[in-house]
A and B are shown apart, each in its own frame.
Chain A
Amino acid sequence: MNRFPKITLWRVIVAIIFAAGIYATYARFALGFSQATHLTDPQPWGLWVGLGTLCGVGLSAGGFGIAAAVYLLGFERYRPVVRTAVLVSFLGYMSVIAGMMYELGLPWRIWHPIFMWNRHSMLFEVSWCVMLYSTVLTFEFSPSLVEKIPWASIRTWYLHWQHRILIGLVLIGCVLSSLHQSFLGGLYLLTKGKLDPLWYTPHLTTLFYLSAIPAGLAVTVMALYLCVRSLNMQVNAQIFGELASVIAPMLGLYGIFRAVDLSTNGAGPYLLRWREESLSFWAEIGLFVIAPLALLAFDKVRNTPQYLYWTCSLIVMGFMANRLNVSITGLQACSGVYYVPKWTEFAATLMVLTAAVMAFRFAVLYLDILPKRTAPRRWMVASTTAEA
Chain B
Amino acid sequence: MAQPLRFNCMHFMPYAHLPENHKDYKSVWVNLSNKHYDPEKGHALYQRYLAELVLADQLGYDAVVVNEHHNTVYSMMATPNLIAAALVPQTKRARICVWGTPPNLMLPNRLAEEYAILDVMSNGRLEVAFPLGTGMEYWANPVSPATARDKFRESLKIILQAWTADGPTTHYGTHYTYRFLNPWPRPMQRPHPPCYIVGTGSPETIDIAAEYGFGYASVFVTQERCRELNENLRKRAGDFGHTIRPEQLPILTFVYVAETEERARQEYVPHLKAFFEDYVRTTPQYLAPPGYLSVDQLKIRAAGADKMHGGFDFDLISKSFFIAVGTPEKVANQLGHWAEWMGSSHINAVMHVADMPHWKTVKNLTLFAEEVMPRLRKGAPQQIAAE
A and B together in one complex: no
B contact residues vs A (CB 8 Å cutoff): none
A contact residues vs B (CB 8 Å cutoff): none
